[in-house]
Chain A
Amino acid sequence: VAKKNKEDKVSNLVEEYFEAHSSSKVLTSDRTLQKLQKRRLNQQTLHDLLKKAPLAYAAEIEELNQQHESLFSKWMLQLHLDFNIVLYGLGSKRDLLEKFRTSLLQDSVHLVVNGYFPSITVRSILNSITEEVLDHIGTFRSPLDQLEFIIKRFKEDSSLELYVLIHNLDSQMLRGERSQQILAQLSSLPNIYLIASIDHINAPLMWDQAKLSLYNWLWYETTTFSPYVEETSYENSLLVQQSGSLALSSLTHVLRSLTLNARGIFRLLAQYQLENRDNPSYPGLSFQDFYQQCREAFLVNSDLTLRAQLTEFRDHKLIRTKRGADGVEYLLIPVDDSTLTDFLEKEDEDV
């Protein structure tokens, strides 16, 4: 009976999948955040606001954490027996690992890797091992060579011991096949003890059998319910006005350093683009038309100066050129309309 139930469940899941993906038409309302008439929060205000809001169920969360902390000594034993430990479950496991580090690893050599940090690479991990732990000065041609060197050193010298703590092993930068391969090989060394945390629901998909056997995982469920403060601070969230604000500030910065005429050229293009924003098939302004308009506004005097100016814009990624079906070059500003409006308003104020 149980088996049949299971089969039913599986077929149900399959049906649900097709149900969810059956029609390409999705019924949602057309409301957008623009119309909500509310200012977008930026990272800093968001942070401040959240700090003010009390954390719910602090006592219970504390109790959960204590439960997990009671496992610390067991983890140490298991790490020393060639297992590696991976933590999963809802909630940030950063504080837990931090606590593990401060309470047990204070005297030993350890390396903390913040996987959620957007610019982390395997190379930097390997570098920190070779430079800080092994005191090796010198460069390697490829990460593989570097890995080989590390493995050799660790095999030669059995007194070397290293604890590696990786927060978010499944982050964008580390989830690639090659980096996982390298990390797995590192972790398979008997003198390197790895303890890592994963969060993504599909994180186990990045390991095949060979890697799994290299990692030699012991899974521990550590649901903490604590908010992902550090982890999500780098996540480009949809609601935070992050990309927009960055683009806007960079836009103003770049343009401030330009000549008056150059600013005018950019304004012209932006205005033209905003006028046409309701037209979905708007390809951008063609170069000829643009030249004409600039001439009329006395912004340029020759084809060449405009081209030079546009090249400068392109170098700063302020415009994009696209060749249309008829072979004509069209110019576009790759910034969303709201930012552009903000920019124009600001310009008007300044003037």
Chain B
Amino acid sequence: QQIQEDLNKQLFDNLVSFLRRSHSEFQEETTEWTCRMKSREIPTAALVLGVNVTDHDLTFRSVSEVIQNNITPYVALLEAKDCPGIKNLMQKLMGQLMNCYIDVESLEDEDYIQVSQNRIRCSMSSVINWYESVTKKTDSETRSKKRTSSSRHCQSPPVVVIFKDTESFTTKVLQDFIVISSQHIRELPLVLIFGIATSPMIIHSLLPRSVSSLLCIELFQSLSCKEHLSTIIDKLLLTTQFPFKLGEKVLQVLINIFLYHDFSVQNFIKGFQLCTVEHFYSQPLSVLCCQLVDAKRRINSLSHDQCENIRRLPSFRRYVESQVSEKQIALLTADNYLKETTQKLLEDLHVYHENYVLVLRCLHVFTSSLPKYPLGKQIRELHCACLENRVWETEEYESSLQLARMLNKSDLVTMLQQCVEIFVSSSVKEFDKTVEKLKEFLTQFQKLEAEAFQEQDVSVSPQKELQKRTDLYHLQKTLLELKESRRSKKLTKFEMLRFEVVDYIDSLVRRYLVPADHKTLHEIVYFNTASVLREHLNAAPRIALHTALNNPYCYLKNQALKSDGGSISNKAPDICIVYKLHLECGRLINLVDWLEAFSTVVTAVEGPNADAASSDQVDDTIHARFIRAVSELELLGFIKPSKQKTDHVARLTWGGC
């Protein structure tokens, strides 16, 4: 558990730093822009952020931080849910501005805390009063102390108001605020920042012309969430830094949730987090999922039971079966020998990861420039393909190699250079040879360029010969020869070389991109139970209800409930019978008929045992059971009471579910 918390922390730190970086340029733009505003209108920045609302929190926080550090201490962050009316908005704004101010000063100003405490009278004029007093103070102070950078930029620092979710603000509130603040723009230099999830058109539909003419809007675009995703995958999955890895199916599920449901990076991270929790919780050998040095230490202190666990792993069994018999015996009986081998195997796994990532990047360089992208455009698609199966056996790989054989020279050279860079940056020893080889290829290409001139000469010469001879017989002969040579000598040197390169890459792929499933002990670091993830993140409550009502045998393992679908089994729980009967009805259901049908079905069970004498009593209990079942269906939302006809209920679902 502790390891996993560490891991999570690592992961989050990485993520946050990444997000910061990706926003930094964007922030710089906005901050620069906020300083240079100097017009009659209210300067406004519209940030188009995309539909993944959940990720915006972090963005805004860092934006306001940057603004606070660089430009002005007066930043207020407003959310739509806090501002149902203009009064609440002003209160919130005032409170935040003063709190902001206190945050920055944080040392003295006891009186300001008191001011912020009573925010009953918060009007624009009081804001202005406050602002004037503050600016005077800071102006005089900063000259002596030189603390806030605000006065370095301009004499009166602007007050920045950020609207987090512009779409959910009430139009009236927004309009009123803009009109009011435009009246006071002289005394109070305001800058507005709108966070927009959809498109900049929304400003024009929210605000009428008369209001939007008071704004001087500039548009800023943020990175698309897909780019975020690919960077995160790059940083989290394609590094050797984290020992924990995701299996192919799990990754596929996570990416699908991202691409088809919400575009939210935070949810992706949440899924990843769940994977780690689940992995460390369910897999007893996950203690070994850590850095290599730690793992070796832990292997030595493994108990006998844990060794048995290792022996039980399917991948380890495969490994044992491939060994000679004496070794097999040693592996299966002696714990010490087992520990040694596990260490070796873990090392292998580690090396495999390092190589894998590098070769994957190389392959991506090649495949990402091919037309139609047979292996996918993004590196994540390639990663999935490689994890899923032996990539060289797939059709897509075949076609991409074929395409690669038709590349022209300049592309090929740049790609090779990129590959060399990747290998050099990694500094894994094993690839020294490959780097050499690739470099060799490059020099050969340079040579080829030189040779090209010569080749031209060669191609000219036969024509000269042709001119010399006038003999008809000879002419025919040479022509035939030419034809022949052309047929046989189809490959120029360049083409030969190209084949060689492609083949070499192919061999690299075959050697290093073996899917992880084929590796021994992969269970320790790979998490591959996608069903868990799907269940807990992407649940389908309706389907669960449907199966429970339709086919109670799925849950209640009683032989009596086993039935072929469709027919109404009279042994099912009451609610199931009532549900099935209700499925047969149209939009409205008559309660009396329903009750009668129910009692017919139920009495069919009890018929043999129950006597006719107690029929009245039975009837009452059946009635009661029916009432219970119907009210349960009502609670579940399948039916609701209807006023259309007396004693009828309306069905709220349609079709078979």
Contact = CB atoms under 8 A, between A and B. Distances in A.
Nearest to B655: A16
Interface string A72-97: 00100110010100001111000000
Nearest to B645: A28
Interface in A130-174: 144
A338 to B, nearest CB: 10
Interface in B8-48: 8
Interface residues of B, number: 75
B592 A29 contact: yes
B555 A64 contact: yes
A346 B537 CA distance: 59
A199 B556 contact: no
Contacts of B52: 209
B632 A232 contact: yes
Contact of A201 (B574, B631, B636, B651): B636
B264 interface: yes
Given A29-B593, A181-B81, A239 B541 contact: no
A195 interface: no
B192 interface: no
A50 interface: yes
Most buried by A among B82, B266, B627: B627
A53 B625 contact: yes
B655 A12 contact: yes
A89 B273 CA distance: 25
A144 B537 contact: no
A238 B262 contact: no
Contacts of B593: 28-29, 31
A220 interface: yes
Contacts of B81: 181
Interface in A17-54: 17, 19-21, 26-36, 38, 41, 45-46, 49-50, 52-53
A210 to B, nearest CB: 5
A228 interface: yes
Contact of A90 (B544, B586, B589, B653): B544
B630 interface: yes
B185 to A, nearest CB: 30
B545 interface: yes
A199 B636 contact: yes
Nearest to A18: B654
Given A29-B593, A210-B53, A237-B630, A225 B654 contact: no
B624 A223 contact: no
A29 B590 CA distance: 7
Interface stretch (A55-63, A251-259, A286-294, A300-308): A55-63
B634 interface: yes
B627 A88 contact: no
B536 A218 contact: yes
Contacts of A232: 628, 631-632, 634-635
A49 to B, nearest CB: 4
A69 interface: no
B620 A49 contact: yes
Given A77-B1, A213-B264, A20 B654 contact: yes
Contacts of B592: 29, 31-33, 35-36
A36 B538 CA distance: 47
B205 interface: no
A91 B81 CA distance: 35
Interface string B578-604: 000000011111111101000000000
Interface string A186-219: 0000000000001111111000011011001011
B160 interface: no
B545 A89 contact: yes
B273 A41 contact: no
B591 A33 contact: yes
Contacts of A213: 53-54, 264, 266-267
Contact of A200 (B274, B535, B590, B636): B636
A219 B270 CA distance: 13
A329 interface: no
Interface string B610-647: 00000000011101111110111011111001001111
Contacts of B558: 57, 60
Contacts of B587: 20-21, 26
B480 interface: no
A347 interface: no
B556 A64 contact: yes
Interface of B is mostly: helix
A240 interface: yes
Contacts of A45: 624
Contacts of B270: 216
Nearest to A218: B536
A19 B587 CA distance: 10
Given A60-B558, A228-B632, A231-B635, A198 B541 contact: yes
A201 B624 contact: no
Contacts of A237: 627, 630-631, 634
Contact of B556 (A31, A32, A200, A225): A225
A333 to B, nearest CB: 18
Contact of A17 (B620, B628, B655): B655
A305 to B, nearest CB: 36
Given A57-B556, A218-B536, A237-B630, A200 B262 contact: no
A77 B1 CA distance: 9
A45 B445 CA distance: 95
A83 B82 contact: no
Contact of B277 (A13, A28, A77, A198): A77
B351 interface: no
Contacts of A12: 655
Given A49-B620, A209-B264, A201 B646 contact: no
B290 interface: no
Given A60-B557, A225-B552, A239 B591 contact: yes
A54 to B, nearest CB: 10
B573 interface: yes
Given A63-B557, A89-B545, A239-B591, A201 B638 contact: yes
Nearest to B266: A213
Contacts of B87: none
A88 B548 CA distance: 12
A291 to B, nearest CB: 32
A20 B586 contact: yes
A221 interface: yes
A342 interface: no
A227 interface: yes
B277 A81 contact: yes
A10 to B, nearest CB: 11
B648 interface: yes
A42 to B, nearest CB: 11
Contact of B590 (A21, A28, A53, A88): A28
Contacts of B264: 209, 213
A78 B280 CA distance: 12
Given A232-B632, A237-B630, A221 B535 contact: yes
Contacts of A52: 621
B28 to A, nearest CB: 28
Question: Which 3 residue pairs spanning A and B have beta carbons closest together?
Answer: A16-B655, A219-B539, A213-B54
Interface of B: 1, 8, 52-54, 81-82, 262, 264, 266-267, 270, 273-274, 277, 281, 535-539, 541-542, 544-545, 548-549, 552, 555-558, 561, 573-575, 585-593, 595, 619-621, 623-628, 630-632, 634-638, 641, 644-649, 651, 653-656
10 contacts: A20-B651, A29-B592, A36-B592, A56-B573, A57-B558, A57-B573, A201-B653, A210-B54, A225-B548, A225-B573
Interface of A: 12-13, 16-17, 19-21, 26-36, 38, 41, 45-46, 49-50, 52-53, 56-57, 60-61, 63-64, 74, 77-78, 81, 83, 88-91, 144, 181, 198-204, 209-210, 212-213, 216, 218-221, 223, 225, 227-228, 231-232, 235, 237-240
Given A28-B589, A57-B561, A89-B545, 7 more contacts: A31-B590, A31-B592, A32-B592, A81-B277, A201-B638, A209-B264, A228-B632
